[in-house]
Each structure stands twice: as C-alpha cells, then as structure tokens.
Structure 1
Amino acid sequence: MDQFDVVVIGAGAAGMMCAIEAGKRGRRVLVIDHAAAPGEKIRISGGGRCNFTNLNAAPANFLSANPHFAISALRRYTPRDFVAWVEREGIAYHEKTLGQLFCDGSAKEIIAMLARAMQAAGVTLRLKTTVERVEPEDEGFSLATSGGPVRCASLVVATGGKSIPKMGATGFGYEIARQFGLNLVETRPALVPLTFEVGMLERLKPLAGVSTDAVVACGRARFAEAMLFTHRGLSGPAILQISSYWREGQAITLSMAPGVDIAGALKAARQGRGKQAAITVLSEHLPRRLAQMILEDAAAPANAGDLSDKAIGRIDAAVNAWTVKPVGSEGYRTAEVTLGGVDTNGLDSKTMQAKAAPGLYFIGEVVDVTGWLGGYNFQWAWSSGWVAGQAV
C-alpha cells in the first residue's frame, strides 16, 4: 500500500496550492483527481484568461454563515502575494475593472505555473483516479482509489462544490464531511443567471441579447455592473452577483439607467424638443430595443411633446425602479460556484483542520465561504490552500 504524509483530493486551485506548500515543507504529498488534467476550472475561467484574483479581496466580499472565518486565511496569504508569484513567473496580466486581474494570454499559464511548482516541491500527481472510500485509521487515513489503496497521515479535501457538473463536479467532499461528523450549511447554486416564468419570458423575448449597465438590488445587497437579457431570464455580472443573495420568492429591483434622472430628461425634451420621437430621447440612455419596450408598456405617445406627467412617471419607474420576481436560477449547470458547504464552525480558521477529526482538512469551494464574482473565489482557493499547506 502506498504511504504518503499528505493526500489531497482535488487538483484544482486550492488543492494544488496546498500540495505545493506542503511539498515545500518536505512532506510527501499525493494529489488525486478524477479529471484527465489538473486545474480544469482554472482553464475555463475568465473566458479562458483566468480572473486569478481581485486586488480588493477582503472578508466583506465573501458570504458565509460565519463571516469572520475567512479573515485569518485572507490576511495571511493576500492577493499581492499571489500577484508577486505571477510576476516572478513572467506571466503578463492586466486589471480589467474593479480590481479584477486577468492573464493577458491564456489561463493555461496559471495551470502551468502551479504544475511546475508542484513538480519542484516533489508532489506526486495522479489523474484519471477516483477515490472510492475514505476510512480513519489510528494514525491517519486509508483511501480506496481506482489506482489502488493509499495511506496518509493528513487528508485534504479540495473537491470543490456541485457547480458545473459536466466537468465532473459532485458532492463527494460533503459526503466525507458528513462521514466524519461535520455539519453542512445548505448548498445552492451561486453566481448564476436567474430565470423567469413563461409569461414574463414571452413578454421579454424581443430583448434577448440586449445588455446595459445597471444597479441590481435584493434586500440590502446592491451591485452596479452590466446585466444581460437572455431567453431564460437575466444574466450578466450584476445578476450573477445578486444571485448569491437572492432566494426563491424574493423580488429584485433594477435601475437600468443608474444616475440618470429619466423623468427630468423626458420633461426637458417635452419642453424643448416636443416634436422629437420619445424613442429617440429614451434611447439616449438605454439600448433602443429596451427603450421601445418600456415605451410600449407605458402606452406612451410617439412624440416627446405629448408625454403626460403620468406617462413620464411610468417610464421613469420602469427604467430605474423595475421590480421583478425571478422563479429560479439556471442551477448548477451554469453556476460558477456553490454557496454553502462544510460548516466553518467545525474548522480551525488558522489551519482549515476539522476540529473533531485531527488530520482532516477542508479547503476551497467545498467550505462555506463563497466570494463575489471577479476573482474572489480564486483568492479564497489560494489563501485557504496556502494556510492548510503550512499545517498538514
């Protein structure tokens, strides 16, 4: 039977980071993954360019039943630390917006960087290998795998969540947590497009493909980014962000011309450009197809000069206070991450070790720490993997 100091289940961002750090400390490390290549979610991220971190990453950008849990890891391994590594490797990158850092070239450069570091640290990588069973032993764990039995002193679960099942995502990490007596926070798709009922979809069908900047709110959460009408409902960064806060039965409110006094603009046009078409005036602030639908729904007259105060009020509310109730989301199929996971009350925030199961660690997406869209979840992977790598 193969014997290692550390076995990491999952060759994603968190798993590889942990393996590298443990290997640097002289630990004999094995990384196991069912995929044919490491870092598959890294490869497809950021449109193939990997939004590998966010310069603004802080605990406030993460959702968790315990909002304080992520503080230690994020402070000990920061975005600047990862950026410094990227720069040492000569990987060109750029800031796109809101602190989001992307590779100038391919996401494969980040995977290659991690692979080189694992090799340099003496890490063994076994791909196309599944873990069938995990059992506790007196001094560690035994694993039944498709490549044969393995023993280890420390076991790190870096299996990710349920998002993007076509890439092999499963709930296996949650099963291990339950097996060893850890609680779970209810899981659900996050950073995911929202869907509408059939009647609303039929009404909005002409808008599929239309995008605009917006402020989207649900409860106290608000995000100002782009939104996109789809044939299923709404998507785009602002919608993906709010989806982590939205729950079934709740409405969301959208301002699709944020910062623009639509009522004031229409009244000014009525006064000074009365013969101009109302669609021309509204299209100065909105995509034309969206402006057209709003005017039709408001039963507005063709010319700006004929707009009544009531019609202007209806248009203004439709633009900057549109309240709509999604019926669901597109689910794990398109969700970028999984909300919820292993309850952090059962983990040590400084090491990521399970309090009730010495030698067992949970890192990355499998844990109940979920970041905003824009590189935050990768930073959690690097940070949680790094701190576990110092402890295993």
Structure 2
Amino acid sequence: MADYDAIVLGAGAAGLMCAGVAGQRGKRVLVIDHADRPGKKILISGGGRCNFTNTGTVPDRFISANPHFARSALARYTPADFTELVEAYGIAWHEKTLGQLFCDGSARQIVDLLMAEGAKGGVEVALGEPITAVDHADGRYRVTFGDRTASAPALVIATGGPSIPKMGATGFAYDLARRFGLRVVEPRPALVPLTLGGDEVLFRELSGVATEVVAIAGKAAFREAALFTHHGLSGPAILQVSSYWRHGQPIAIDFLPGRTPGWLKQLKRDTPRTTVARTLTAALPERLAAVLGERLALSGTLADLTDARLAAAEARLSHWAFHPNGTQGFAKAEVTVGGISTAELSSKTMEGRRVPGLYAIGEAVDVTGWLGGYNFQWAWASGFAAGEAIALH
C-alpha cells in the first residue's frame, strides 16, 4: 500500500487545481480518475476553447441552498488570479460578451497548464483506474483502484456531478458523501434546454430560429439569445433560467426587450396604417413574428385596434408565458444544481465539519454558477481553498 498526504478523486478542473496547490506546498498527492484522460469536460467546454473564467464573478451569480457559502473561496482566489496563471503559461486569451474569457487556441492548453502545475508539485496521476473501494480507519482514508491501494489522511471528492454522462459523469460523489454521513441536496440538471409539450408544441416548428430576449424564471432574468429547437427552448438565456426553473413552474419571455411601456400605442399615433404583423416582422425573425402574430390574432392596421387591445398585446409580448414540461436532463445539462450540502462543509477549507480529512470541491458541491465561466471559477477557487488547507495540515 502506497502512502500519500492527500488523495484526490477526480482529474477535472477542481481536482487538478487542488492537487497542484497542495503538491507545490510540499504535500505528496495522488489523483485518481476512471477516465483515460484528464480534464475531459474542460476539453469540450466553450466550443473547445474553454471559457475558463468570468470577470464578473460575484457570489450572487451562484446558486446554493446557502447563498453565502461560496463567498470566502471566491474572494481568496479570483478571476484575476487564474488569468495571471494563464498568462504565465503564455496562453493567449480574449474576452467575449458579459465578461467571459476564452483561450484563443484550444481548451487543451488549460488541461496542459493544470497538469504542469501538478508536475511542479510532484503530483502523481492515475488515469483509467476505476475506484472499487473507499474506507476510513485510524485517521486514514484507503482507496482501492485497479489492482492498487493507496492511503492518506486527506481525501478530496472532486468527481463532479452527473451532468453529461457520455463523458463518464456519475453520481459517485453523492454516494461517497452519504457513506461518510454528509447530506446531499437533491441534484437536478442545470444550464439545460427546456422541453415544450401540449399546445406549445407549435413553437417547435420554429426550430433553428434565434433572437435576443429577456428570459424570466421567478426573480431571475437574463437578457441573451433564445433558440427554438425540435424539443422546445434553448440558447444562453434559456440555459441561464433553467438553473432557477422548477417543474410545474412557467417561464416568461420578453420578445422585445428594452421597449418603453406604451410603445405600440405611440406607434399607432406615429404610423396608424402599419399592422401588428409588419411591426413584429421588422423587429423579429420572420418565422417567429408570424407565429406570435397568429397567436395575438390582431388583424388590420394599428388604427383599427383600440389602445386597450394594443396594451394587452404589448403586455403579452413582454411577458409571454411558456409552460415547460421538463428539461433535456443530465444528458444535455452543462452542470448540476444541488450536490453535497454546504452545511456539511467549511466555507474556508471545503473540509467536512464532522468528518476530518474529507473535502469536497467543484461541481460535487451544492454551488452552481451562471453560464459563462462561473463554474470554472468555482472549480479553481474551491480547489485552491482545499489545496491550501491540506498543505497546512
């Protein structure tokens, strides 16, 4: 049996970050992953260019049963810190909209960076090794993988959530956490397309049509593109609100964001002979305008319509209710809402409050960021916090 200072389960963003930090501070670290390559989810992120952080990272852009939990780790390892590391490796990057930072080249550069950081700290990485047993006795964790067994006083759960199972994602983190008595907040798909049924199937005919909207779920609202699909609704605005949506709840879409209330009545006074259909076609993709116009059932010119009918049309266009019948599930979800309860963990170290030496980081934890690099920043910050804590033991 080989002895280490820490064993990290999962060679993803959080796990590799944690291992590199602890290793460079003098700890002997082993990373184990059943996948045959490290960072598989990193490699497919951002269209292969890895949206590695977001300059707008603040705690209220993360969803958790405890909205304050992420604050400590995010404050101690910031987007500027990771960007500085990216630049130290000579990786060119660019900023897209809304503070999103991407590699100019390939997401592989981020994986290579993390592996190099681990190598600097002498981190050992065992890939393609399924874990068959995890035990704890006499202050040490023992992990059996393949035909080997390793032990350490610290064990880090960094195996992520069940989103994107085709990449090998499973609920292993939750099973392991429960075995050690840690509670799990019910996981559900997040950053995921929504499906439509019933009368709203009509909108599936718009498959491929995209337009900028404000999508609303409860108190959450996002102004970005929405995309109609064969299954229902997708696009950045929809993925964002999906993290807040609950089964049975409606979502609303403002199809003409930024319009001043009363704009249709004003248009009637300025151009009375125009029609609602023409007005919609001028502002929206033609196929979408036709469907919305058909649903509004307002024929004739604006002059033919009362101010009350125009106000009702305006209200519907700014808050068009959809009733999703579900999501496309973990198969299409970018991340997971829920996970290992933050009530079980120290927000400073990510260590179990009642289980010394057991840490949980990254997507395995009940902290979920918005679309746009926030979840990677949580991986770096939580991994850094745990790595530092392990180094101090």
Shorter-chain TM band: over 0.9
Contact 1:294 1:315 in 2 (8 A): no
Deviations 1:41-79 (A, max 9, x none): 111111111110011111111111111111111111111
User: Which one-letter code corresponds to 1:206 in the other structure?
Assistant: E
Match of 2:87 in 1: 87
* SS of equivalent residue, structure 2 residue 144: strand
Amino acid at match of 2:386: A
1:249 offset after TM fit, Å?
A: 1.2
SS in 1 for 2:109: helix
Aligned to 1:367: 365
The one-character-per-residue Cα deviations of 1:186-215 (angstroms, maximum 9, x if unpaired) are 1111111111114311x1133111111111
Amino acid at match of 1:359: G
Q: 2:278 aligns with which of 277, 280, 283?
A: 280
Matches of 1:345 and 1:181, distance apart in 2? 12
Aligned runs of 1:211-360 on 2, under 5 Å?
Answer: 211-261=210-260, 264=263, 266-276=264-274, 278-301=276-299, 303-309=301-307, 311-360=309-358
Moved more, 96-105 or 278-287: 278-287
* C-alpha deviation, 1:105, in angstroms: 1.3
- Alignment partners' CA distance in 1, 2:261 and 2:290: 15
Q: CA deviation at 1:5?
A: 1.4
CA contact (8 A) 1:270 1:306 kept: no
Distance of 1:57 and 1:322 partners within structure 2: 30
- The one-letter amino acid paired with 1:247 is R
Distance in 1, matches of 2:178 and 2:279, equals 59
- Is contact 2:351–2:360 with CA below 8 Å preserved after alignment? yes
Q: Which moved more, 1:218-227 or 1:74-83?
A: 218-227
| Deviation at residue 81 of structure 1 after TM alignment | 0.4
Amino acid paired to 2:232? G
Shift of 1:278: 4.0
Tell me, yes or no, if the aligned pair for 2:361 and 2:379 is still in contact at 8 Å: yes
For 1:190 and 1:257, the matched residues in 2 are separated by: 26
Shift of 1:263: 5.3
1:301 Cα offset (Å)? 2.0
Q: State the TM-score, normalized to the length of structure 1.
A: 0.95
- Secondary structure of the corresponding residue to residue 153 of structure 2: strand
Structure 1 equivalent of residue 12 of structure 2: 12
Which segment is superposed worse, 9-18 or 96-105? Answer: 96-105
**Inter-partner Cα distance in structure 1 for 2:379 and 2:265:** 51
Pick closer, same or farther for the CA change 1:280–1:262 going to 2, 3 Å. farther
Once the two structures are superposed, what CA deviation does each residue of 1:171-195 show, in whole Å capped at 9, x if it has no partner? 1111111111111111111111111
1:381 aligns to 2:379 (yes or no): yes
Deviation at 1:279, TM superposition (A): 3.0
Q: How does 1:46-195 map to 2 (within 5 A)?
A: 46-195=46-195
Q: How many Å apart are 1:270 and its aligned residue?
A: 4.2
Letter in 1 for 2:363: E
Is contact 2:200-2:322 (8 Å) kept? no
Q: Is the 8 A contact 1:42 1:107 kept in 2?
A: yes
Q: TM-score, normalised by structure 2?
A: 0.95
Quote the Cα distance in structure 2 between the aligned partners of 1:175 and 1:198: 37
| Partner of residue 208, structure 2 | 209
Structure 2: runs of 5+ lacking an equivalent: none
8 Å contact 2:132–2:146 — kept in the other structure?
A: yes
**Which one is further off, 132-141 or 155-164?**
132-141
| SS at structure 2 position matched to 1:391 | helix
Distance 1:170 1:208 in 2: 31
> Alignment partner of 1:382: what SS?
helix
Check the 8 A contact 2:93/2:104 in 1, yes or no. yes
Q: 2:156, 2:359 within 8 Å by CA — same for their partners in 1?
A: yes
Whether the aligned pair in 2 keeps the contact of 1:279 and 1:288 (CA below 8 Å) is no
- What's the % identity of the aligned pairs? 53
Per the TM alignment, residue 273 of structure 1 is displaced from its structure 2 partner at its CA by 4.0
Q: Deviations over 1:317-352 (max 9, x none)?
A: 332110121111111011111111111111111111
1:121 Cα shift? Answer: 1.4
Aligned to 1:391: 389
Q: CA offsets per residue over residues 336-390 of structure 1, 9 Å max, x none?
A: 1111111111111111111221111111000111111111110000000001101
Residue 272 of structure 1 deviates from its aligned partner by 4.8
2:282 and 2:295 map into 1 onto residues whose CA distance is: 19
Equivalent position SS for 2:80? helix
Q: How many residues were matched structurally?
A: 390
Taking the aligned partners of 1:262 and 1:293, their CA distance within structure 2 comes to 22
- Contact (CA 8 Å) 1:269, 1:305: kept in 2 or not? no
Q: Give the Cα separation in 2 of the matches to 1:314 and 1:147.
A: 69
Distance 1:84 1:209 in 2: 39
User: By how many angstroms is 1:276 displaced?
Assistant: 4.5
Residue 232 of structure 1 aligns to which amino acid in structure 2?
H
Report Cα offsets for 1:250-275 as digits up to 9, x if no partner: 111110111124852x4455445455
Distance 1:225 1:251 in 2: 19
